Amino acid sequence: MSTSQRILDSIRRIVRLLREGSHASEASVGLSGAQLFVLQKLDPAHPLSLKELAARTLTHQSSVSVVVSKLVERGLVQRRPAESDARRLAILPTKEGMRLRGRAPAPAAQDRLLTALSALPAVEQRRLADALEQLVRALGLDEREALMLFTEEPSSRSSSSRAPRRSASRRKKRANKRA
């Protein structure tokens, strides 16, 4: 087996784990894998700031904020002024969020991945990070935001103002008619 095939097979297996974990989460509790991952990082006794939650989920604040907003809309998470500083928002799960989390498959696929990565020697972790960053640069993806896994791309337009998407064949037919 070639080195390229070994790499692709490994990536496929990891993506499959994450995709299956997200599907299992949606089937069992109706949450995406990212939503469950965030919900499982929250503790009602120790509310977190958005910055702290981003650090705990190893993602950017803007990405975790999108997921938190969806959880707030569903009544699974609440934002409230922090006890120590009313200017800061504290994020914590609601009773419903805790109930749903208790029924969820555990651990989230992302946690399995993080556990496996942390089990690697530090030098191997750095080599893997360096190699993946080189691959991302070679693909021209290094300027793209690293969203939480299996979340929707944020849109600059509201969903109500979006034009319906047309298939490539419909766009081509329309272009040919104009020509």
CA distances from 74 to 39, 69, 99 (A): 12, 9, 13
Phi, psi of 78 (to 5 degrees): -125, 150
Phi, psi of 158 (to 5 degrees): -70, 155
What's the total number of domains in the chain? 1
Structural domain range at position 81: 3-143
Task: Give the Cα separation of 142 and 139 in Å (integer).
Answer: 8
Residue of higher predicted confidence among 169 and 141? 141
Encode pLDDT of 102-111 as tens digits: 998 777 788 8
Whether residue 116 lies inside any domain: the answer is: yes
Q: Please indicate, yes or no, if residue 166 is contained in any of the structural domains.
A: no
* DSSP one-letter code for 163: P
Average pLDDT over residues 131-150: 88
What phi-psi label fits residue 55: left (phi over 0), alpha (psi between -120 and 50 degrees) or beta?
Answer: alpha
In CATH, what number is assigned to the domain containing residue 116?
Answer: 1.10.10.10
Is 25's pLDDT higher than 50? yes
* Paired tokens of 57: 């989920």
User: How far is Cα 132 from Cα 15, in angstroms, rounded to an integer?
Assistant: 14
Q: Is residue 149 part of a domain?
A: no
The reply to whether 65 falls in a domain is yes
Q: Is residue 10 situated within a structural domain?
A: yes
pLDDT classification of 154: cutoffs 50, 70, 90: low
> pLDDT by residue (tens digit) across 5-18?
999 999 999 999 99
Name the helix (H) or strand (E) containing 11.
helix 3-29
Residue 27 within a domain: yes
pTM attached to this predicted model: 0.74
Mean pLDDT (the chain) is: 84
User: 54-103 pLDDT, tens per residue?
Assistant: 999 999 999 999 999 999 999 999 999 888 888 889 999 999 999 999 99
Let me know if residue 81 belongs to a domain: yes
| 172 domain-assigned | no
